[in-house]
Amino acid sequence: MKDAAPTTIFLKDYTPFGWQVSDVHLTFRLAPTTTRVVSKIHFAPNAEARAQDFFLHGEQLKLIRAAIDGVDVTPELTAEGLRCAVPDGPFLWECEVEIAPAENTALEGLYMSNGMYCTQCEAEGFRKITYYPDRPDVMSVFTVRVEGDVPVLLSNGNPVGKGDGFAEWHDPWPKPAYLFALVAGDLVNFPGSFTTMGGRKVELNIWVRPGDEGKCAFGMEALKKSMKWDEDVYGREYDLDIFNIVAVDDFNMGAMENKGLNVFNSSAVLASPETSTDANFERIESIIAHEYFHNWTGNRITCRDWFQLCLKEGLTVFRDQQFTADVRSAPVARIENVAMLRGRQFPEDQGPLAHPVRPESFQEINNFYTATVYEKGAEVIGMLKTLVGDEAYGKALDLYFDRHDGDAATIEDWLKVFEDTTGRDLSQFKLWYSQAGTPRVTVTENWETEAPDQVRGGGRYTLTFTQSSPPTPGQEEKAPQVIPMAVGLLNPNGDEVVPTRVLEITEGTQSFSFDGLASRPVPSINRGFSAPVVLERESSPEERAFLLAHDSDPFNRWEASRLLARESLIAMITDNAGPDEAWLDGLQRLLRDRDLDPAYRAMMIGVPSDSELAQVLYERGVTPDPDAIYAAKETLAQVRAERWADLLPSLAAEGAVDDAYQPDAEQSGKRALGAAVLYLTTRLDGGKAAQAQFESADNMTLQLSALAQLVRAGKDEAALAAFEEQWRHDRLVMDKWFGLQVGATAPEKVVSRAETLTKHPAFDWKNPNRFRSVLGAMAMNHAGFHRKDGAGYRLLTDWLIRLDDLNPQTTARMCSTFQTWKRYDADRQALIRAQLERLRDKPKLSRDTGEMVARILGN
């Protein structure tokens, strides 16, 4: 385990490494508990760095031999690496270490998953493979020889040699160690090929365990689409003869962009209509795109240090979001992205874990692969593009690739290409990278029919914006940021009188006027969610219903519905009010509009999550009661079901698909509408339609949405048993089975079900997907998890304590469930605090979990 004594690393302390690495030769002799790694590395003094000791990172390595220029040396070993006296000039470092991949449960470094060897080196896992300057600004050309008695032996780059029991790989592109990868095992490939715009024919493979070949076709198509898209939209061409993807069952995150050898959590690549939902297909497509896009944004141009993580992640998320918007429906994709930002990033930014998009200090970098770095990082790029315009964005990106290819770059470098392209000063914009917290923007308006300096006839409409950012850990005071606010104005008939215009807010308080209007307009503000802020504006339900009916901006039309639903639920919770009639009527009209995309209408039916409602109540000074939130949502669903009883059958018919299953936007939109309808219908028919759908379903989307409603209705015993019988052989489908019965069930049953499932013979808790499917799903079930007696908190903590000894990374990530604890009442806070302290005080607490718990507790 990692040393629990925490040291903090600071951005301001960055210093370059004292040597350059011209080339690296690695030989692996694979054996489950006695793998030997032999390295030969040429070091040369780095003239630009200041003098320093020669230090190589290394953890949990057994040093067998080390030599400099052929002469054995005895380095000084520490828990973090080794120090050694070295010559003044260039020298050859040779080293042999022994490691035990079969005993590596942390899934970082070289480890084994179902008999297969694989690696995960980002961020700092390479140091568990051999001694090396394991930092992203040390880039080198790697040649790798893998020896082992398994049929498939893979590494980065191009294959250069192969024989009985060995394979050799050469990656011509200099890369940091975190992009190193090795995979070896009894694997089969699903082949494909792609010819690049420059005429290079690239061999493509998806490598899987025998039996999974039937789940690769979709991923392969997604890969080809991504390669083409990056050529068409960014002019970026692939740069090796081969591109390999491997599916691994035991993996801490979604996937990893190792050069030429992407490693994927099997849940993020394997798909078939029978075993995967539409949502799975969409996620897989975007993750494959994401990892592929990293080849340029991450690999060819990497990060100088880990504080610059958003340089590659924010940009690559932005690119994968653009891709999804292009190949699916742009408005639907935007709404999904914003819902995800609000659901995951806002709570982070509004709680004890808040940190800037570019953090300035950390203890464990693994804890900063966050929604803030990824998703807010992408929003910041979206704002930059909005501010400079599409054309300048394209030019700036060309300059970025041109100027920084082969570099380990910084956010300063990134912003400089925009400044050089546009002549703009981006120093204030840069605050988005350094100030944490979600800015709040309050809007007031003024309407004058006879403004004194009015040039044109008619009235003047003025919008006044006031921005502020609440304090976040370590940042009390915030300066005003640059906020691109997209605004359109509608006249009382619902026609657009001022089309979308981007107002650039730079001051604490700032006004913008629109002259020459015939009548007082209705504003549509922050269209397309042009800035990731919380907008505060007094507006009536009538005005929201008006925007719901007329707004030409699809995002804000959806937003109007969301706000109506939210305020209706809040009033139900706090004032015992009945549901908002204006919303129910307006939505009903919209649902009947067959010109609107079914996917869009499906999203309109949705209401804010329990957790979002809890946050809003908390911000308004009301202590959220999870049971009351749950009850209000149930009531509202019942009301909608009854109110729309006549409409539901025709919507269900629209949601039906007759053609053969395709996971495309059109069909999945229909099925999404069908699922949203089934959620309501089940409240009227007690589960009859759901049962029928469950029995006749020939794809996982329909089967699972039916099962979800049966679970919700408490009529799930037979269906759960049948599902288990049908799918017990399929790990990914069984993850759904575990997750659903905890995630969708009534609050009072959540914890006991989760506990029962942890005793199920198939509950393989060392597998992160399975662990999350039960404990993660429990924590996501808001009312169930926040049970008054604290049983949910206790059960989760029991398991986190257990997992921390094996897999600190996944344990630490799951601690963030507790980040919202200060919202709740004193009793619940005391119960959560007790669990956090129990976790904090456990023997041999990992550095990862230690840092998270300390931040959440607020020390």
CA dihedral (119, 123, 128, 132) positive or negative:
positive
Q: State how far the Cα of 461 lies from the Cα of 546, in Å rounded to an integer.
A: 19
| DSSP result, 166-204 | EEEEEEEEEE-GGG--EEEES-EEEEEEEE-TTS-EEEE
For ligand TRP, the closer of residues 373 and 711 by Cβ is: 373
Contact in structure between 671 and 653 (CB atoms under 8 Å): no
Active-site choice (147, 282, 291, 364): 291
118 binds ligand TRP (CB under 6 A): no
Query: Using CB distances below 5 to 8 A depending on partner kind, what does residue 668 bind out of Zn ion, ligand TRP, none?
Result: none
Q: State how far the Cα of 157 lies from the Cα of 163, in Å rounded to an integer.
A: 18
Q: Which residue is associated with the tokens 């204030």?
A: 428
Q: Which residue is nearest to ligand TRP (CB)?
A: 253
Q: Is-catalytic flag, 291? A: yes
**Which residues 666-705 are close enough to bind ligand TRP by CB under 6 A?**
none
Query: Using CB distances below 5 to 8 A depending on partner kind, what does residue 559 bind out of Zn ion, ligand TRP, none?
Result: none
Q: What x/- string results for residues 313 through 352 when contact with ligand TRP is judged by CB under 6 A?
A: x---------------------------------------
Q: Which residues contact 854 (CB under 8 A, 6 or more apart)?
A: 840
Least distance between Zn ion and beta carbon 344 (Å):
15
> Is the peptide bond preceding residue 123 cis, with omega within 30 degrees of 0?
yes
Q: State how far the Cα of 146 lies from the Cα of 835, in Å rounded to an integer.
A: 46
Contacting range for ligand TRP; rule: CB under 6 A; set: 250-258, 278-286, 299-307, 335-343? 250-258
For ligand TRP, the closer of residues 307 and 793 by Cβ is: 307
252 binds ligand TRP (CB under 6 A): yes
Contact in structure between 617 and 574 (CB atoms under 8 Å): yes
* Residue of 752, 840, 766 whose CA lies nearest to 809: 766
For ligand TRP, the closer of residues 302 and 701 by Cβ is: 302
Total chain residues near ligand TRP (CB under 6 A): 12
Contacting range for ligand TRP; rule: CB under 6 A; set: 117-125, 130-138, 191-199, 433-441? 117-125
Least distance between ligand TRP and beta carbon 306 (Å):
10
Q: State how far the Cα of 132 lies from the Cα of 552, in Å rounded to an integer.
A: 56
Least distance between Zn ion and beta carbon 368 (Å):
13
For ligand TRP, the closer of residues 699 and 807 by Cβ is: 807
Query: Would you state the structure tokens that stand for residue 25, as one six-digit string?
Result: 């030769």
* Residue of 2, 106, 199 whose CA lies nearest to 847: 2
Query: Using CB distances below 5 to 8 A depending on partner kind, what does residue 369 bind out of Zn ion, ligand TRP, none?
Result: ligand TRP
Q: State how far the Cα of 418 lies from the Cα of 427, in Å rounded to an integer.
A: 11
Contact in structure between 155 and 170 (CB atoms under 8 Å): no
* Residue of 757, 766, 843 whose CA lies nearest to 810: 766
Least distance between Zn ion and beta carbon 257 (Å):
6
Contact in structure between 606 and 620 (CB atoms under 8 Å): no
369 binds ligand TRP (CB under 6 A): yes
For ligand TRP, the closer of residues 122 and 716 by Cβ is: 122
**What is the C-alpha R_g of the chain?**
28
Bridging pattern class, strands 302-303 and 408-409? parallel
Q: What x/- string results for residues 287 through 316 when contact with ligand TRP is judged by CB under 6 A?
A: ---xx---------------------x---
856 binds ligand TRP (CB under 6 A): no
The helix, strand and coil proportions of the chain, stated in percent and rounded to the nearest 5, come to: 45, 20, 35
Query: Using CB distances below 5 to 8 A depending on partner kind, what does residue 253 bind out of Zn ion, ligand TRP, none?
Result: ligand TRP
Contacting range for ligand TRP; rule: CB under 6 A; set: 59-67, 255-263, 451-459, 487-495? 255-263
Query: Using CB distances below 5 to 8 A depending on partner kind, what does residue 120 bind out of ligand TRP, Zn ion, none?
Result: ligand TRP
| DSSP type of residue 631 | H
Query: Using CB distances below 5 to 8 A depending on partner kind, what does residue 320 bind out of Zn ion, ligand TRP, none?
Result: none
Least distance between Zn ion and beta carbon 298 (Å):
7
Q: State how far the Cα of 415 lies from the Cα of 384, in Å rounded to an integer.
A: 9
For ligand TRP, the closer of residues 310 and 602 by Cβ is: 310
For ligand TRP, the closer of residues 137 and 580 by Cβ is: 137
First vs last C-alpha separation in the chain? 23
* Residue of 221, 335, 338 whose CA lies nearest to 289: 221
Contacting range for ligand TRP; rule: CB under 6 A; set: 118-126, 149-157, 784-792, 841-849? 118-126
Number of C-beta neighbours around residue 73 at 10 A: 16
Least distance between Zn ion and beta carbon 604 (Å):
31
Q: Which residues contact 221 (CB under 8 A, 6 or more apart)?
A: none
Query: Would you state the structure tokens that stand for residue 185, as one six-digit string?
Result: 């095992």
Q: What x/- string results for residues 119 through 138 when contact with ligand TRP is judged by CB under 6 A?
A: -x-xx---------------
Query: Using CB distances below 5 to 8 A depending on partner kind, what does residue 122 bind out of Zn ion, ligand TRP, none?
Result: ligand TRP
Least distance between ligand TRP and beta carbon 614 (Å):
29
For Zn ion, the closer of residues 21 and 255 by Cβ is: 255
**Helix H or strand E segment including 674:** helix 665-685
Q: State how far the Cα of 305 lies from the Cα of 311, in Å rounded to an integer.
A: 10
For ligand TRP, the closer of residues 611 and 807 by Cβ is: 807
Q: Which residue is associated with the tokens 């006027």?
A: 513
Residue of 204, 253, 381, 665 interacting with ligand TRP (CB under 6 A): 253
Least distance between ligand TRP and beta carbon 313 (Å):
6
**Residue 503 β-bridge partners:** 485
For ligand TRP, the closer of residues 171 and 291 by Cβ is: 291
Q: Quote the distance between the C-alpha of residue 498 and its chain's center.
A: 36
257 binds ligand TRP (CB under 6 A): yes
Instruction: Kindly list the residues in this chain that would bind Zn ion in the complex (CB under 5 A).
Output: 313, 316
Query: Using CB distances below 5 to 8 A depending on partner kind, what does residue 155 bind out of Zn ion, ligand TRP, none?
Result: none
| DSSP type of residue 307 | G
Contacting range for ligand TRP; rule: CB under 6 A; set: 115-123, 185-193, 209-217, 537-545? 115-123
Contact in structure between 266 and 732 (CB atoms under 8 Å): yes
Least distance between ligand TRP and beta carbon 519 (Å):
50
Q: Which residues have a catalytic role annotated?
A: 291
Binding interface with ligand TRP (CB under 6 A): 120, 122-123, 252-253, 255-257, 290-291, 313, 369
